[in-house]
Amino acid sequence: MTPDPSSRRTPEAEFVARIDDLLEKSLPERTIPWSASPPPEWAKQFRPRRIVDLGAGVGGFTHSVLLRLAQWGCLDDLEQVVLVESDRNLLPGGESALRAHLFRQVNSALPAGKGPGIALDVHLAFIELRDGICKGEMTIPILEQHLDADLIVASHLTYYFGEGSGHELLRCLRDRYLSTAGRIWCVIRKRACPIYHARAKMLRNLGITDVKPFDYAEYFESDVLPSLSGTTLLATEDKAYLCDPAFPNRGEAAHLLMWRQPPSIDPDDPYRRAVAEILVGSAALFVEQHFILGRCT
């Protein structure tokens, strides 16, 4: 009998750090779907003073976002960068090592001479949605000291809340923590790619239910966004990964993304075989969809 894939699941901290490295998240040309020049329409005249990255991980995507914003001329008025991450054990060395690493990720991305004038806050604290004082209101306690954010980055954060659709999280961020003219930069995995097609097929054959069936960009775009009244979609773009068969560690990355576990050494392991079948050819194995959201005016 084939075991449940969760039986060898990689610890979350190891998964996050390794995928950040394998997908080269700290390189904007690898992870940002908009080029350095010209700036996209949504970024023109956008000058955030406070940027909040909620669920910063090891800071690779944070670094890329700041580099791109700098290339677009968006950081002239920047005053504060806030990073929030729940897992203190993403790097060997624990909390102190992660905090120092995140500081380096931010400072190395800021324009020359800009760093000393920017307040950088790193919070290694649990991110949770709580009921607010008013009926129907939700809060994120760690953000109560950082209201009126001009840019909130939420990369794959929906996965960790409820059923994974992102509805409650995005509504809370927009209503309570986003400035009037602010943007939310949300990144969600797409179901329409070889990794998740193969995964869904394997789970069906095993009779196992997907634990996060709504945490896909297609569902977010078709069902969640239309239900977020008062939210406007300013831009959306896909970013493809693992296209080149010669890409270093392509198989390991695909296996981690498909099963959240490392490849088995057993050549007959069914999960390893499922990955091997999609490694042939140069199709993009993994795709993320980026959404830039704002308030309706």
pLDDT, one tens digit for every residue, the chain (297 residues): 455 665 556 678 889 999 999 999 999 999 999 999 999 999 999 999 999 999 999 999 999 999 999 999 999 999 999 999 999 999 999 999 999 999 999 999 998 877 678 999 999 999 988 887 666 678 999 999 999 999 999 998 777 777 778 888 999 999 999 999 999 999 999 999 999 999 999 999 888 888 888 889 999 999 999 999 999 999 999 999 999 999 989 999 999 999 988 888 888 888 899 999 999 888 999 999 999 999 987
Task: Give the separation between CA 251 and CA 276, rounded to whole angstroms.
Answer: 7
Distance CA 241, CA 289 (A): 11
Rounded distance between C-alpha atoms, residue 238 and residue 218, angstroms: 11
Q: Which two tokens mark 34?
A: 């908009």
Kindly report the CATH number that applies to the domain delimited by 12-192+212-241+288-295: 3.40.50.150
Domain residues of the chain, as ranges? 12-192+212-241+288-295
Reduced to 3 states, what is the DSSP secondary structure of residue 101? helix
The pair of three-digit structure tokens given for residue 185, joined into one six-digit string: 């930069």
